[in-house]
């Protein structure tokens, strides 16, 4: 298996796809679909994209692990700077969307204000919070990964994957919740392993794994809907081992694609994290899924599925352009530069 050196647009394209998966998942999960008395075909169209959310998150982290796990920084300040850059972006969108949402809905809340201004501390976004914790721990994790043997690395993977991807399915969340740091850690370690040792699996087999994993997740939703009803937790198995397997299979397909460079793809990929921060905010998701896109007015299953993809693409494009203005503002105010100087002053 060939190993890449540096970034290439095939993986940047996958980064964009991962965010499309997350947004499409929110489309299936946030829309007030009326599943009571719905037909099987209707429920399939409503929940068609629901299995993709955790897949998108895992792909995003796999890319991080693939590029970052082999780096051992000489100074912890480098990791602090990486984390602070992410934190600043998270804080910016959390505060801005809170202020706009509070004004638009005329619904000010002290609790939401605290979460808005301290989004990481109070876990306003589970994924960015876990991601920042991961970045802070990366220097220590990477030093361990550099020293352990391939056998020990495999044992570490087995333990973390079992504890974070399998145990939560049966209700044991001592290591990780369905959505938590444990899952992010396991996926990061896998990304690092793939970069260091490679995994050789035929593409056809990987494609079959992707299809079967998705169908199993969709089937689990339909089965639980039939057994426990539309008000129960019908998405229980769209977290854990199945999306993890699907994400790894997709990632393995993409790292074997021919390397190429496309400035447009790289330009978009550099800002897709903002898509999550904007669309997943408690104020924004209400506006987007309930007011802006009134998709529940459509009853045709084909239209429902088609609009899910179209809306996700539109949201990614809009939020990427918003983020480019955010970058211009940050550069003008020199926020990151000033923050880095403070870090250098206190961390040697």
Position 291 scores a pLDDT of: 84
Position 225 scores a pLDDT of: 81
Number of domains in the chain: 1
Signed CA dihedral, 324, 329, 331, 332: sign only: positive
In a domain, 1, yes or no: no
pTM to 2 decimals?
A: 0.92
The dihedral region occupied by 108, where left means phi > 0, alpha psi between -120 and 50, and beta the remainder, is: beta
Position 272 scores a pLDDT of: 97
In a domain, 3, yes or no: no
Position 236 scores a pLDDT of: 83
Position 124 scores a pLDDT of: 86
Q: Around 244, how many Cα atoms within 13 Å sit in the side-chain half-sphere?
A: 26
In a domain, 131, yes or no: yes
In a domain, 4, yes or no: no
Position 348 scores a pLDDT of: 58
Position 108 scores a pLDDT of: 82
Contact 27, 289 (CB under 8 A): yes
In a domain, 2, yes or no: no
Contact 300, 41 (CB under 8 A): no
Position 62 scores a pLDDT of: 98
C-alpha pair distances (Å), 83 with each of 259, 304, 323? 28, 38, 18
In a domain, 248, yes or no: yes
Alpha helices by DSSP H, the chain: 9-30, 40-46, 53-68, 76-105, 110-117, 126-147, 150-161, 181-197, 203-228, 241-255, 263-269, 273-279, 282-286, 301-333, 335-346
Domain containing 197 equals 9-346
Beta-carbon contacts of 159 under 8 Å, excluding residues fewer than 6 positions away, are none
In a domain, 64, yes or no: yes
In a domain, 295, yes or no: yes
Per-residue pLDDT of the chain (348 residues; tens, 9 = 90+): 444 444 689 999 999 999 999 999 998 876 556 666 678 888 888 899 999 999 999 999 999 999 999 888 767 888 999 999 999 999 999 999 999 998 888 788 898 899 999 999 988 889 999 999 999 999 999 999 999 999 999 999 999 999 999 988 887 877 776 678 889 999 999 999 999 999 999 999 999 999 999 999 999 988 988 787 665 577 888 989 999 999 999 999 999 999 999 999 999 999 999 999 999 988 888 788 888 887 777 778 899 899 999 999 999 999 999 999 999 999 999 999 999 998 888 875
């Amino acid at each position: 298996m060939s190993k890449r050196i540096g970034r290439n647009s095939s993986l940047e394209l996958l980064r964009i796809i991962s965010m499309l998966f997350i947004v499409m998942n929110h489309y299936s999960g946030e829309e007030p679909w009326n599943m009571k008395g719905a037909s099987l075909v209707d429920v399939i169209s409503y929940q068609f994209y629901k299995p993709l959310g955790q897949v998108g998150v895992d792909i995003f982290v796999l890319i991080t692990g693939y590029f970052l796990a082999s780096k051992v920084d000489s100074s912890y300040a480098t990791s602090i700077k990486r984390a602070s850059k992410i934190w600043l972006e998270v804080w910016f969108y959390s505060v801005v969307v809170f202020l706009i949402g509070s004004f638009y809905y005329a619904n000010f809340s002290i609790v939401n204000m605290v979460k808005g201004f301290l989004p990481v501390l109070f876990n306003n976004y589970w994924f960015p919070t876990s991601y920042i914790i991961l970045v802070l721990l990366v220097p220590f994790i990477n030093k361990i990964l550099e020293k352990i043997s391939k056998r020990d690395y495999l044992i570490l993977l087995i333990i973390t994957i079992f504890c974070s991807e399998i145990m939560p399915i049966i209700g044991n969340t001592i290591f990780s919740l369905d959505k938590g740091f444990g899952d992010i850690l396991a996926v990061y370690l896998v990304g690092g392993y793939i970069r260091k040792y490679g995994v050789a699996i035929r593409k056809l087999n990987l494609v079959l794994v992707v299809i079967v994993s998705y169908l199993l997740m969709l089937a689990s939703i339909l089965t639980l809907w039939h057994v426990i009803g539309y008000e129960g937790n019908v998405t229980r198995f769209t977290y854990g081992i199945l999306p993890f397997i699907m994400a790894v299979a997709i990632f393995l397909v993409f790292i074997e694609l021919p390397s190429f460079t496309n400035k447009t793809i790289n330009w978009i990929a550099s800002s897709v994290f903002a898509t999550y921060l904007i669309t997943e905010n408690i104020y924004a998701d209400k506006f987007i899924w309930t007011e802006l896109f009134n998709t529940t007015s459509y009853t045709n299953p084909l239209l429902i599925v088609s609009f899910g993809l179209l809306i996700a693409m539109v949201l990614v494009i809009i939020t990427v352009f918003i983020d480019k203005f955010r970058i211009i503002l940050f550069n003008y105010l020199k926020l990151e530069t000033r923050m880095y100087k403070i870090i250098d002053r206190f961390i040697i």
